Amino acid sequence: MKEIKNHLYEQVARIGRAMASPKRLELIELLCQGEKTVETLAAQADISVKLASAHLKELRQARLVETRKDGKYVLYRLASNSVADLWVSLRSEAEERLVELQVALASLVEHGQELQGMDRQTLLERAARGEVVVLDVRPEAEYAAAHLPHARSLPVNELRQRLAELPPDLPVVAYCRGPFCLMAKEAVELLRQHGYHAIHLTDGVAEWRARGLPVAA
């Protein structure tokens, strides 16, 4: 019986080992945005294709990631939304326990830029009524895979050229891939420089879904 018990713990530990790598956690966060090729993942995680493939192999062996063929391409995706929930839960617990992480996160979003005084349900209702613009500043492919309801796609690298598309008299709430993502911070700073009332929503699609809120696709 002891051998069986040890085997049970060993199987659970496979998940822990697969996630015990900063780059593998980053790959999971990227896959929370939708399925991607290894080349895309490598570029977005700023690592070589060879290293990305090795990390993805570890995640596949732990059954956290799956693949499918699309012509000559192999697309990687999370095994289920529960893997995204696991990432959000792990990151949230780390933020709760680790002062170092709290300090690092505080440096990403300046006081006064983050969403305050408005809960997520209220944000949804105001966006539905056209009282606030919710801006998804991720790449268009990620927006197409899943996005917050009533959100508009405007990738951050196109924002400066397309500012005229945004109504100047409405508040803008920008979001990207989650608390560790810098694209929404960059977007908020640019919008404020041009006179917009811009707010940073640190939630991404994974965090939004983990809260039990609806996601559009």
In terms of C-beta density within 10 A (0-12 exposed, 13-18 middle, 19 or more buried), how is residue 115 classed?
middle
SS3 state at 212: coil
Task: Give the pLDDT mean for 153-164.
Answer: 97
Q: Which of the four pLDDT bands, split at 50, 70 and 90, describes residue 1?
A: confident
What is the amino acid identity at position 164? A
Out of 176, 187, 188, 199, pick the active-site residue: 176
SS3 state at 67: strand
Closest residue by Cα to residue 175 from 130, 134, 145: 134
Residue 133 has pLDDT above 70, yes or no: yes
Residue 91 has pLDDT above 60, yes or no: yes
Calpha distance 204→208 (Å, rounded): 6
Q: Which of the four pLDDT bands, split at 50, 70 and 90, describes residue 197?
A: very high
> In the annotation, is 176 catalytic?
yes
Task: Give the pLDDT mean for 94-118.
Answer: 81
Q: Which of the four pLDDT bands, split at 50, 70 and 90, describes residue 107?
A: confident
Calpha distance 198→113 (Å, rounded): 7
pTM of the model: 0.93
Residue-wise pLDDT tens digits, 46-72: 999 999 999 999 999 999 999 999 999
